[in-house]
Amino acid sequence: MRRSAGVFDVSHMGVLEVRGARAREYLRRLLANDVARLRRTGKALYSCMLKEDSGILDDLIVYYLGEQWFRVVVNASTRIKDLAWMRAKAGPFEVVVEERTDLAMLAVQGPEARDRVAALLPPELADAALSLEPFFGAVVGDWFVARTGYTGEDGFEIMLPGAQAPALWSRLNDSGVQSCGLGARDTLRLEAGMNLYGNDMDETTQPLESALAWTVAFDPAEREFIGRTALEGARGHGGGRCLVGLVLGDRAVMRAHQRVITPAGVGEVTSGTFSPTLARSIALARVPAAAADAGSVQVEVRGKLLSARIVRPPFVRHGRTLVEI
């Protein structure tokens, strides 16, 4: 896929529509990032949705499709929880939150993905897709095409009526786009240094210790988003934990929940795998913040302490190796 193009069925993801005159105001309260930044139609924003104690309920992408219409894509494992939470917070804002169970979603990723997809689309849809800037989406009829990948490669995410998805999948295969499983997608996202909900973050962690500080909009100071007070307290006292990248020096594979021994204390691997691109094991790990610049640590793999280097993700982006191996 890093050399050509692959297609993933990600229809398990939740697609939620937020509609109403106060939809923007509602999402500014609901999310840690600020949808006030979304002014151009189709623009996307990545954000966490927090509890009052700043624990992460989910990470998501929100698309601005109109002043009274936002589309939110959430994780499959949290879909039911997210929908209940969002509806519970919607009342004061008089917005409607609906789930689009009629839509399928295919992600086509890789250096040749955009050209191969465009060749299969009707002219109007192909033109809209090829004109998209990164982190934008466009609605054309019943279809929605976005450019917000999760693999470290360029490409498109296509939301379309579920009944039409099998035909598109077959046409993609016929054009040379290979079918890929979610296991491959997990390896690719880890090479790209992207968090996975349930592994690298959850309700017991907050964005500042999950390498997601960049997704929190503390300005303007008067915006009272859910979890802000707790996050400001965490930001104020410093210390705590942080999420780092690891590259293993030995011939073994790091996996989630393995212990990470650092000069500042013990941490834990949150996601680990063998990287086909780097031909060695890589991981994300949560360690004491004081260990972030330690350089090297030890990871307990099958009862043995093996040497690993702390690096700054991403490991791979657009086919290029970005860490020293």
Helices 79-90 + 23-30 axis angle, to 10: 120
- The verdict on 53 and 174 lying in the same domain is yes
Q: How confident is the model at residue 1, as a pLDDT?
A: 76
**Number of Cβ atoms within 10 Å of the Cβ of 50:** 24
240 domain-assigned: yes
Please say whether the beta carbons of 305 and 261 come within 8 A: yes
Among the candidates 155, 189, 223, a domain finishes at 189
- DSSP assignment of 124-180 equals HHHHHHHTPPTTBEEEETTEEEE---SSSS-EEEEEEEGGGHHHHHHHHHHTTPEE-
Among the candidates 132, 160, 189, a domain finishes at 189
How do strand 265-275 and strand 280-288 relate by DSSP bridges? antiparallel
215 domain-assigned: yes
| Residue 225 lies in domain | 199-321
- Tell me the pLDDT tens digit for each residue of 203-232: 999 999 999 999 999 999 999 999 999 999
219 domain-assigned: yes
Quickly state the pLDDT bin for 238 (edges 50, 70, 90): low
CA gap 19, 63 in Å, rounded: 12
Q: How confident is the model at residue 236, as a pLDDT?
A: 76
- Maximal CA-CA distance, the chain: 59
Query: What's this model's pTM, rounded to 2 decimal places?
Result: 0.96
- Tell me the pLDDT tens digit for each residue of 151-190: 999 999 999 999 999 999 999 999 999 999 999 999 999 9
- The verdict on 32 and 176 lying in the same domain is yes
- Tell me the pLDDT tens digit for each residue of 44-101: 999 999 999 999 999 999 999 999 999 999 999 999 999 999 999 999 999 999 999 9
- The verdict on 66 and 124 lying in the same domain is yes
User: What is the average pLDDT value for the chain, to the nearest integer?
Assistant: 96
127 domain-assigned: yes
Run of H or E including 70: strand 69-74
194 domain-assigned: no
- The verdict on 83 and 217 lying in the same domain is no
CA gap 242, 182 in Å, rounded: 27
Q: How much of the chain exceeds pLDDT 70, in percent?
A: 99
34 domain-assigned: yes
Among the candidates 189, 224, 248, a domain finishes at 189
- The verdict on 234 and 183 lying in the same domain is no
* Cα torsion 209, 213, 216, 220: sign: positive
How do strand 316-317 and strand 137-140 relate by DSSP bridges? unpaired
- The verdict on 149 and 264 lying in the same domain is no
- The verdict on 136 and 285 lying in the same domain is no
263 domain-assigned: yes
C-alpha closest to that of 77 among 90, 97, 59: 59
- The verdict on 184 and 227 lying in the same domain is no
57 domain-assigned: yes
- The verdict on 123 and 26 lying in the same domain is yes
Quickly state the pLDDT bin for 325 (edges 50, 70, 90): confident
- The verdict on 13 and 161 lying in the same domain is yes
Q: How much of the chain exceeds pLDDT 90, in percent?
A: 96
Count of domains in the chain?
Answer: 2
Work out the average pLDDT over 236-252: 90
- The verdict on 60 and 109 lying in the same domain is yes
Whole-angstrom CA distances from 219 to 27, 61, 70, 93, 301 are 15, 20, 22, 22, 42
For tokens 């994300």, name the residue: 284
Which two structure tokens, joined as six digits, stand for 220? 């303007």
CATH number at residue 285: 2.40.30.110
- The verdict on 88 and 179 lying in the same domain is yes
